[in-house]
Structures are given as structure tokens and as C-alpha cells.
Amino acid sequence: MRYVEEFRDPKAARALIARIAEVADAIGATKDEPVRIMEICGGHTHAIFRYGLDKLVHEGIEFIHGPGCPVCVLPMARVDECVEIAERPGVIFTTFGDAMRVPGTKGSLMQAKARGADVRMVYSPLDALELARRNPDREVVFFGLGFETTTPSTALTLLQAAREQIPNFSIFCNHITVPPPLKALLDDPWMMLDGFVGPGHVSMVIGVHAYDFIAADYGKPIVVAGFEPLDLLQSVLMVLEQIRYGRAEVENQYARVVPEHGNPISLKAIDEVYEPRPSFEWRGLGEIDASGLRIRPAFAAWDAEEKFGIGYAAGPRHVAEPEGCACGQVMTGRIKPTACPRFGAGCSPETPLGALMVSSEGACAAYWQYGGARVAAE
């Protein structure tokens, strides 16, 4: 496949790893005093483990796995609301497969389905809209989930529903945005990060200037990266080079996909359909100001929160996270997944307790799948 294989070339990878080691030594990074680089995006976390990049690079580089998996940061209350909507008579509840197993206090969507709710996995919100066209006597709800990468797709789907005036389709909007939690992390006095690998696909929509504050206000380097091994290695090298020469800039390693100013059509669709919520709850991080999106009142007819009087439309509420779950600490980089008391002891991909174990983009599942299970067994 074009532009995939080329970015896995072992020769170039070896060269990058050697260069990374050289720069890491030059700036004095060691195992005990590592350079801490946060990869924000869950897709990057997954790729780092899949290719074992954390083991391949110099021991003075530590990857901190950021909050960039939208399934992982979804709070229990929202999962409960999904289940409540799905269990209403006449509803077909559609979702990306990733969200099926996220546990809420009433179980997951998968369990709701087993109990008889009509929950269906779809690949695209367009498939959900098609279901609504074909089932005019049912209420089809799409679970809108994800960062800026998927937000345009639900915005455009809603606009299509509005154009066709499809009355039995609505979106349960849980879209969140990347910059506010990064600011929250950087403001956290516990945070000890030296630089960031920026999310490639979010940036393809919002452009690179959304991160200017990271360099300008916090003095940290950030390199927007692609998802192949060479992309990630090159980005780590670029972060290290910035540190070496005392620079803090926003750089774009993924220019083949990420335009400097993002995608104007996507941005326009997002702005037309959504507006920021005053605040939104993140699993493990709590309420973060202006970090979530809601459907504008003009499109209330396609807003599941309004239609079913649920969620923030019904007033704020909070559900405590499960006992002993350290998802929040893992997500802020304070501890490694294996340090959670529940890792492998009540929490595994088969029976996930916290959301970081549910999605393959969650740090705990990645640890488990690529060697963590071994660690737990030892």
C-alpha cells in the first residue's frame, strides 16, 4: 500500500535509532533521569507498543502515554447514558465498535445488547444515517465519539440528515477537543514533561497552530507526527534536537497529511454544527473547561440529548470511578499501567475495569497485549 511500507524501512529505522541515541547522550538523558516525551494520541501509543519503539530507542527516553484515546477518557456517566438511550423502546443505538465494551455502572453497550437492546456497530456515521432512512419507524441514534479527527464526519452526517429532513436520526454528541486537556496537563504541578509528539490526524483537521501555546507559553517542543514507525522515530528525534539546541517550536513531521492550517471544509462543518460546552467530564481528569462540544440549538431536532432529555440536557451529574482504578494517574503519566493495583488483578482486556484496558489504544491494553501480561505474571 502506498505510503505505508515506505515508512517501515528497517535501514532508515536503524539510522534514526542511532541518531536518537547520539542526541540523547549529548543532552545527558539517562535511565534514571530520562527525557519524558508524551505521545498525546492513543494511535501513537498503540504504534509505539506494536513496534516496540519504547524498547528500541535509547534508555534515556521515556514515553508518557497521554489522554488521547477518546474511548478511554469517556466517563462512566456518559456510558450509562448510552445504555439508557439504547434501552428505550424503538431505539436502534449505533456506535463505533471501539465503544462497545467500555464499562459503565450498568455494564457496557455490549452487555445492554445481550440484555436485548438493539445496539449495532457501524463503521461510519453515514451507515447509521442509512439505517435511519431504511427504518423510518425506529429512532436511530448515533454515538458521536472522538476528537477533532472524527468530529467532521458526524457534523457532515448531521448536516446531511438536516438537508434530507430525516426526523428519526439523532446524534449523542461526546466529541472532545485536544488542546484544552493539554493545557490542563501542562498546568498540573505534578507534570514533568520535556516535549510532545503531537496527534497527526487531529492536526490534519485543526492544523498545527492550535499547539502554538505549548511552545510559546510553556516552552515545550511539540512535533506533529504520523503513525508509521519511521514517523514516530523521526518525530522523537526532532523533539530531542529541539531540546538539544534550547528551542521550543511546533514542527510538522507529518506534512504529507497535515496542512499547516488544517482542513477548512472540516473546520467549517464543525463550527456550523457544534459549539463548546462550558465544561465536559473526562475519565481520570475530571471536568475540563470548554473541552467538549455540543450540538447547536439550531440542530436540536438531531440532538439525542435534547430528544431524550438526557445527559447535560438533564443537568450535570457525576458517577464515581470503580474502586482501586488508577486510570487517572496512568493517563496523566504519574504511574505506569503495571503499577496499578488492579492491573492483571481484576482488570484485563477480557474483563476490563477501567477504560484504559478496553480500547487497543489505551495504555493498559497496550501494555497487556505487548508484554505487560508477562510483567503482571512475574
Stretch that binds ligand SF4, among 63-71, 87-95, 203-211, 338-346 (CB under 6 A): 338-346
Stretch that binds ligand SF4, among 45-53, 237-245, 312-320, 352-360 (CB under 6 A): 352-360
Stretch that binds ligand SF4, among 31-39, 172-180, 184-192, 342-350 (CB under 6 A): 342-350
Q: Vertex 194, ends 188 and 198: CA angle to 5°?
A: 90
* Length of the chain measured in residues: 378
Q: At what angle do helices 229-244 and 42-50 cross, to 10 degrees?
A: 110
Stretch that binds ligand SF4, among 1-9, 83-91, 334-342, 370-378 (CB under 6 A): 334-342
Q: Identify the residue among 12, 21, 162, 290 touching another protein (CB under 8 A).
A: 12
Structural contact between residues 124 and 154, judged by C-beta atoms closer than 8 angstroms: no
Instruction: Choose between 71 and 129: whose C-beta lies nearer to ligand SF4.
Output: 71
Structural contact between residues 93 and 86, judged by C-beta atoms closer than 8 angstroms: yes
Stretch that binds ligand SF4, among 61-69, 181-189, 229-237, 339-347 (CB under 6 A): 339-347
Residues near 309 by beta carbon (within 8 Å), at least 6 away in sequence: none
Q: Which residue has the cell 486537556?
A: 181
The yes or no reply on residue 372 touching ligand SF4 (CB under 6 A) is no
The yes or no reply on residue 354 touching ligand SF4 (CB under 6 A) is yes
DSSP per-residue codes, 18-57: HHHHHHHHHTT--SSSPEEEEEEEHHHHHHHHHTTHHHHS
Helix, strand, or coil here: 170? strand
Smallest distance from the beta carbon of 16 to ligand SF4, in angstroms?
30
The yes or no reply on residue 71 touching ligand SF4 (CB under 6 A) is no
Instruction: List, in sequence order, every residue forming a beta bridge with 222; answer none if it has no partner.
Output: 196, 250
Please tell me the distance from the alpha carbon of residue 98 to that of residue 226, in angstroms, as a whole number. Answer: 21
Residues near 68 by beta carbon (within 8 Å), at least 6 away in sequence: 39, 40, 41, 42, 43, 44, 45, 147, 178, 199, 202
The yes or no reply on residue 74 touching ligand SF4 (CB under 6 A) is no
Q: Identify the residue among 77, 82, 197, 327 touching ligand SF4 (CB under 6 A).
A: 327
The yes or no reply on residue 357 touching ligand SF4 (CB under 6 A) is yes
DSSP state for residue 60 in the 8-state scheme? T
Q: Identify the residue among 56, 106, 110, 153 touching another protein (CB under 8 A).
A: 153
Please tell me the distance from the alpha carbon of residue 318 to that of residue 123, in angstroms, as a whole number. Answer: 30
Smallest distance from the beta carbon of 154 to another protein, in angstroms?
9
Q: Identify the residue among 227, 299, 312, 367 touching another protein (CB under 8 A).
A: 227
Smallest distance from the beta carbon of 147 to another protein, in angstroms?
7
Single-letter amino acid code for the residue at 285:
L
The binder of 152, among another protein, ligand SF4, none, by C-beta within 5 to 8 A per type, is another protein
The binder of 8, among ligand SF4, another protein, none, by C-beta within 5 to 8 A per type, is none
Strand ranges, E, within the chain: 35-41, 61-68, 91-95, 119-121, 139-146, 169-175, 195-198, 222-224, 250-252, 274-276, 279-282, 286-289, 293-295
Smallest distance from the beta carbon of 152 to another protein, in angstroms?
6
By the criterion CB under 8 A, which residues form the site for another protein? 1-4, 6-7, 9, 11-12, 14-16, 18-19, 41-43, 69-70, 96-98, 123-127, 145-147, 149-150, 152-153, 156, 160, 201, 204-205, 227, 230, 234, 253, 255-259, 263, 265-266, 269, 361
Q: Which residues bind ligand SF4 (CB under 6 A)?
A: 325-327, 330, 337, 340, 342-343, 347, 353-354, 356-357, 364
